[in-house]
């Protein structure tokens, strides 16, 4: 019954809402970037934009209340990642953040800890969803997918430590196949570190425009699944129970 509730809530939110050891996907990203001169121009353009002004108290409070720390207690020990609320009890994160968990815990900005009662992962892509026991403080709103060179802010709990807001911009949009994501993903100038996985990517207005999930090994750029790719994966891929400990 709980799993059915997750799927129903997920379908409603992804279609209409307002959306371990934390490491890159298991296969080594082998993406070959465009010609160096073209890439340098894109990076320079992205770096030259005015960074998003998520500095007002109201924006920072919303980002802080929206984003949670996820603890995965499994056969490999305890690992941490990030996530964010799509409903009062519904959380989105990465598949690799919750895979192999014997138990999952979610901590909010005010120090409260909630247990996860049910979790599912997307069959396609690095996306996972969970129902938590207890209400989450703040539910985010979706924006449109970010455009190239658009300012964005990555929010999460890098290295399992305090919440961090990392401003940057979208460099480009590339094929997600080499990064284990069917569809396209965006590359970012925002600093992404282990523990950021599963956290929200926000636009200037604090709306969710993607989910942070990895670092491109060859360049060090951050990677995020934009909301349009996330919606498509949710529609066509379906969901399954989280992989058992040691199965991935």
- Which residues fall within 8 angstroms of residue 248, CB to CB, at 6 or more apart? 26, 96, 99, 100
Structure confidence by residue, pLDDT tens digits, 128-141: 999 999 899 888 89
The answer to whether 205 and 153 have CB atoms below 8 angstroms apart is no
Please check whether the two domains, 2-20+68-138 and 36-58+140-234, share a CATH topology: yes
* pLDDT in the model for residue 118: 87
131 to each of 91, 103, 209, how far by Cα in Å?
Answer: 6, 13, 21
Q: Give me the residues of the chain with pLDDT under 70, please.
A: 1-57, 237, 246-248
Per-residue pLDDT of 67-104, as tens digits, reads 999 999 988 789 999 999 989 999 999 999 999 899 99
So what's the pLDDT on residue 43?
54
Q: What is the CATH architecture of 2-20+68-138?
A: Beta Barrel (2.40)
Angle at 162 between CA 161 and CA 168, to 5 degrees: 105
Print burial letters for 89-117: b (CB count within 10 Å at least 16), e (below 16).
bbbbbbbbbbbbbeebbbbbbeeeebebb
- Spell out the domain ranges in the chain: 2-20+68-138, 36-58+140-234
Whether domain 36-58+140-234 has CATH 2.60.40.1180: no
pLDDT score at 236? 73
pLDDT of residue 246: 65
């Amino acid at each position: 019954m709980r799993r059915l509730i997750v799927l129903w809530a997920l379908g409603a939110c992804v279609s209409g809402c307002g959306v371990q050891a934390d490491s890159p996907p298991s296969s080594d990203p082998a993406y070959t970037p465009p010609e160096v001169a073209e890439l340098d121009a894109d990076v320079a353009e992205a770096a030259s934009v005015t960074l998003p002004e998520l500095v007002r108290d109201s924006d920072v409070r919303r980002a802080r209340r929206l984003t949670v720390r996820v603890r995965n207690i499994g056969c490999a020990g305890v690992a941490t990642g990030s996530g964010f609320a799509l409903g009062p009890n519904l959380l989105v994160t990465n598949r690799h953040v919750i895979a192999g968990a014997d138990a999952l815990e979610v901590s909010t900005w005010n120090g409260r800890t909630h247990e996860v009662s049910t979790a599912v992962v997307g069959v396609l892509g690095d996306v996972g969803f969970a129902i938590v026991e207890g209400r989450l403080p703040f539910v985010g709103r979706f924006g449109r997918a970010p455009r190239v060179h658009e300012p964005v802010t990555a929010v999460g709990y890098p290295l399992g430590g305090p919440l961090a807001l990392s401003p940057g911009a979208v460099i480009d949009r590339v094929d997600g196949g080499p990064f284990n994501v069917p569809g396209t993903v965006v590359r970012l100038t925002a600093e992404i570190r282990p523990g950021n996985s599963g956290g929200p990517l926000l636009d200037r207005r604090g709306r969710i425009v993607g989910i942070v999930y990895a670092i491109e090994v060859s360049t060090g750029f951050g990677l995020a699944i934009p909301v349009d790719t996330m919606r498509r994966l949710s529609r066509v891929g379906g969901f399954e129970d989280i992989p058992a400990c040691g199965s991935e």
